Homo-oligomer: A and B are copies of this chain.
């Protein structure tokens, strides 16, 4: 319940969302064994947060059928934390019966997307956050409740989104009990100025609440947007190994920001990630092996880690 355990103040935290966001649209997915190897390897490389899936009916979403085994796998790794998406009351109940460290509820910035995505309006999604918090308290669970505000930088259905509106939704989620708030550029509309503005507004409006920035590289601005968030002091960032994931509104588009490229950016900007980038790149092999049909993204893995300049924050001359 204390978000500081998941997100120590002032520390950079890169969250691996590939096992959830990365597998939402893929035609295939790794076996449970491969998923666990994926988590273990990334954890060895220094990544500590894993969103391992969504509590959904296993017949319709077989890629998430092993979510409980993955939560247990994360729990066995010292220092590692797990998140799970919970889209309705049943999912919340199921998640709270596990050792998951965080449950994530999606609240759309717009009613239109909310209805299309989870068949309930924006207010009803905020009610679900409230419900999740009271269930969590009743269950005596230590799980943190995270409200992820989707379409925070523009909506694929209703277009431009007023940032004041996004902040109102975020504050309402915090008032409903969410201890962590995420701002998601679900379809990759954002530019760096927009990210700076919304991060600044959210930091002001939500004192003491850890803020997550969730970026997609749909239109090439993912890493630039991450740099903008870091500039505003937002140091909890989502990514996926190999940029796994896509965009439901743009088939074939690049998806989540590649976590390898995020590590390089953070270090180059002077923020210590604690991540062994070579080992992280090495972990991509599991994806290549277990999902051979998926194209992986991210520039760094193609070029390799620079060998002759001091690019790590700890040794930076810049």
Q: SS class of chain A's interface: helix, strand, loop or mixed? A: loop
12 A-B pairs within 8 Å (CB atoms) are namely A191-B264, A191-B311, A193-B270, A193-B318, A217-B299, A219-B299, A219-B300, A220-B258, A220-B300, A221-B223, A227-B227, A253-B299
From residue 262 to 311 of chain A, which have CB atoms closer than 8 A to chain B?
264-265, 268-270, 298-300, 302-304, 306, 308-311
- Which B-chain residue is minimally distant from A162 (CB atoms)? B317
Residues of B within 8 A of A163 (CB): 318
Interface size on A, residues (CB 8 A): 53
Produce 1/0 per residue, A233-274, CB < 8 A to B: 000000000000001001011100010110011001110000
Alpha-carbon distance between A158 and B268 when the two chains are bound, in angstroms: 18
Task: Please name the 7 residue pairs, one residue from A and one from B, whose CB atoms are nearest each other, closest first.
Answer: A191-B268, A220-B261, A253-B303, A220-B299, A224-B224, A250-B303, A154-B309
Q: Which residues of B contact A264 (CB under 8 A)?
A: 191, 219-221
- Chain A residues near B (Cβ < 8 Å): 154-160, 163, 188-194, 197, 217-224, 226-228, 247, 250, 252-254, 258, 260-261, 264-265, 268-270, 298-300, 302-304, 306, 308-311, 317-318
| Cβ A269 vs Cβ B191 within 8 A | yes
Point out the residues of chain B lying under 8 angstroms from A217, CB to CB. 299
Copies of this protein in the complex: 2
